[in-house]
Amino acid sequence: MTAEAANEILRPSLYHSSTEEPAATSYEVVDALISPRGHLEILSRAEINELLANRHDGLYALYRNCSLAVLCSGSDIDDGKELLERHPGFQIKVVQRQRGIKLEIKDAPASAFVDGRMITGIQEHLFAVLRDLVYVNDEIHDSARFSLATSEGITDSVFHILRNAGVVKAVAQPNLVVCWGGHSISREEYDYTKAVGYQLGLRGLDICTGCGPGAMKGPMKGATIAHAKQRIPHGRYLGFTEPGIVAAEAPNPIVNHLVILPDVEKRLEAFVRTGHGFVVFPGGVGTAEEILYALGILLHPKNAGVPFPLIFTGPKSAADYFTQIDRFIGDTLGAEAQGRYKIIVDDPAQVARELLAGVEQVHAFRKENHDAYYFNWLLNIEHDFQQPFRPTHEAMRTLRLHRKQPNHLLAAQLRRAFSGVVAGNVKEYGIRAIEKRGPFEIHGDASVMDPVDALLSCFVKQQRMKLPGKQYNPCYRIMAG
């Protein structure tokens, strides 16, 4: 059978990550030629040339790293630096053929294949990476069409990225629930996320998550069973990620609409603009970042009347976790912020009922205000929440963590602090920066930093900073006063 007919060329081999390491650290790899799955079948020669112009940095390096993460779906890695070091021989190239494009892959992880063929979901995700990176590079960054210096321009760019990915679709009834939570959670917490997803699916609700493992995968698993029971043939399982985090939270194959947003801030805006209801499961600093982003937006006076169903939930064993989260929010952002969410412990059906009622309120509000069901244009998001934040030692040291500002702006600054900790924990560039210069220093008023320190210490104690069994060395130092 020819390569074209088979659609893949496979060459199994054994790769040793280091000559000093034992054979137990060897990984089976394959070479493959992959045909398109999903929304992208053709690229211009200029797009291909630009993508492959520099093999060591720039767009190609971004493309290679994201593609490797997709192929490592289900791995036991939550460290972007480790992932790249484990697969130094991995290469991927776009090949132009008469009837379209193919991906030529060298030293791909064998776990992405079953009986010589790539898992369909992973194959779709590979082309989603290509689609989104090319579109963002050509139509967003290298185009005068979007003014990324304005809030309106950034929101418009997020909308067009989602529309290009086929996510934005006219719907008759809002039904998308965003589920946030950690990738490093206990088995009991994971099973609970599946139970909630199941109850949501029974009520015809679709799921959107950060696309990774743990609390991002569980709700989708539960919803797939419920959708099958309700004979819902086209359930949507949306996954939103960004290049810096995708290696630590590789997309799970249940995701049938993967979108790679260009940065954390656009990823977060994509969540709140497309979702109709929101669930927060137990998690670590990344989950806290998402909570702070949502609450900061909801605390803005212009959003006071916008319905935004938000529920924190987990099993009985997570009750203390949510007590700590609630205390942190009260100590930093106050009672008004605490009034924007509900905490429901160990009751998946009640979570689903509350969310369904909240989604119906969203439907009525959008209808009355002539807003789209598929994208929340009415939500006011200030520029402080949209500006990309690159966590460097200098940027982390100069965060404005004090009370002499409105609470919604304090939430934006706290969100950046937690984003920096995420970078130092799992993102390649953050890990390398910590190795070179030591932990980030986070300065602020004691009235703000003491609750931050208490919450982060809680996450460390509960092993929410890294996957279970891995030792955590803090990438930050709290400097209060």
Same-domain status, 400 and 373: no
Quick check: 207 and 219 in contact, CB under 8 A? yes
Same-domain status, 198 and 78: no
Rounded distance, CA 244 to CA 388, Å?
12
Task: Provide the CATH number for the domain around residue 193.
Answer: 3.40.50.450
SS3 101: strand
Please identify, among 362, 381, 400, the residue that sits at the C-terminal boundary of a domain. 381
Quick check: 280 and 318 in contact, CB under 8 A? no
Q: Give strand pairing partners of 208.
A: 178, 238
Domain count of the chain?
Answer: 3
Model confidence over 340-353: pLDDT tens digits?
999 999 999 999 99
Question: In the prediction, which pLDDT does 439 show?
Answer: 93
Find which of 73-87, 391-405, 421-435, 459-473 is predicted with most confidence, using mean pLDDT.
391-405
Rounded distance, CA 224 to CA 458, Å?
33
Rounded distance, CA 249 to CA 74, Å?
9
Residue at 164 is within a domain: yes
Better pLDDT: 57 or 303? 303
| Distance, CA of 93 to chain centre | 25
Token pair 């529309």 is found at 163
Query: What are the backbone dihedrals phi and psi of residue 469, each rounded to the nearest 5 degrees, phi first?
Result: 90, -10
SS3 361: helix
Question: In the prediction, which pLDDT does 56 show?
Answer: 53
Please identify, among 365, 381, 397, the residue that sits at the C-terminal boundary of a domain. 381
Supply 322's token pair: 């949510």
Residue at 146 is within a domain: no
Question: In the prediction, which pLDDT does 147 show?
Answer: 84
Residue at 209 is within a domain: yes
Residue at 372 is within a domain: yes
Q: Is 468 exposed, middle or buried (0-12, 13-18, 19+ CB in 10 A)?
A: exposed
Query: What are the backbone dihedrals phi and psi of residue 444, each rounded to the nearest 5 degrees, phi first?
Result: 175, 175
Q: How far is CA 65 from CA 71, 76, 111, 266, 307, in A?
A: 10, 17, 17, 19, 38
Please identify, among 353, 381, 409, the residue that sits at the C-terminal boundary of a domain. 381
**Residue 301 pLDDT more than 60?**
yes
Question: In the prediction, which pLDDT does 270 show?
Answer: 97
Task: Using only the alpha carbons of the chain, give its radius of gyration.
Answer: 22
Domain that holds residue 164: 151-381
What percentage of the chain has pLDDT greater than the value 90? 57
SS3 50: helix
**Residue 455 pLDDT more than 90?**
yes
For β-strands 277-280 and 310-314, DSSP reports them as parallel
Residue at 343 is within a domain: yes
Task: Provide the CATH number for the domain around residue 89.
Answer: 3.30.1850.10
Question: In the prediction, which pLDDT does 244 show?
Answer: 82
Residue at 430 is within a domain: yes
Model confidence over 5-21: pLDDT tens digits?
345 544 544 433 333 33
Same-domain status, 263 and 354: yes
- For residue 245, give the nearest of 391, 80, 392 by alpha carbon: 80
